[in-house]
Amino acid sequence: MYFDDMPIGDAYLTHEAVRAVLERQDNRCAGCSAPLDAGSTYFDLRRPAICGGSHTLGNLAALCPSCHLNHMRRIREGFADHRNK
C-alpha cells in the first residue's frame, strides 16, 4: 500500500494525517498556495466521497478559508446542476 492510499478514517483526522498533508503541501493551501495558519486550516476531500472519492491521504487537501468556501460552493453547485437535470 502506498502512503497516499492509506485510509484516513471517516470522521476524524489523526495528527499523523494532518502532518502528512501539511508536509506534502509545504504548509500551503492546495488551492491558492497561501501559507496556512493552524487556527484556520480546513481539510477537505479533493473529490467528495459521494462523487466516488476515497477517504485516503492522496484525496485529502488542506485549504485556506477562502479556498474551502470556493470548494464547497462548487460541490453544492454540482449537486444542484445534477438535481435539475
Give tens-digit pLDDT for 2-59: 445 455 555 678 888 899 999 999 999 999 999 998 888 999 999 888 788 888 889 9
Q: What's the average model confidence in pLDDT over 66-85?
A: 80
* pLDDT interval class at 76 (50, 70, 90): confident
What is the CATH number that goes with domain 3-83?
3.40.1800
pTM strictly above 0.85? no
Q: In 3-state terms, what secondary structure has residue 56?
A: strand
Please name the amino acid found at residue 22.
L
CA–CA gap between residue 39 and residue 80 (Å, rounded): 31
For cell 444542484, name the residue.
Answer: 80
**DSSP state, 42?**
E
* pLDDT interval class at 1 (50, 70, 90): very low
For cell 476524524, name the residue.
Answer: 12
Domain spans of the chain, in order of start: 3-83
For cell 470556493, name the residue.
Answer: 70
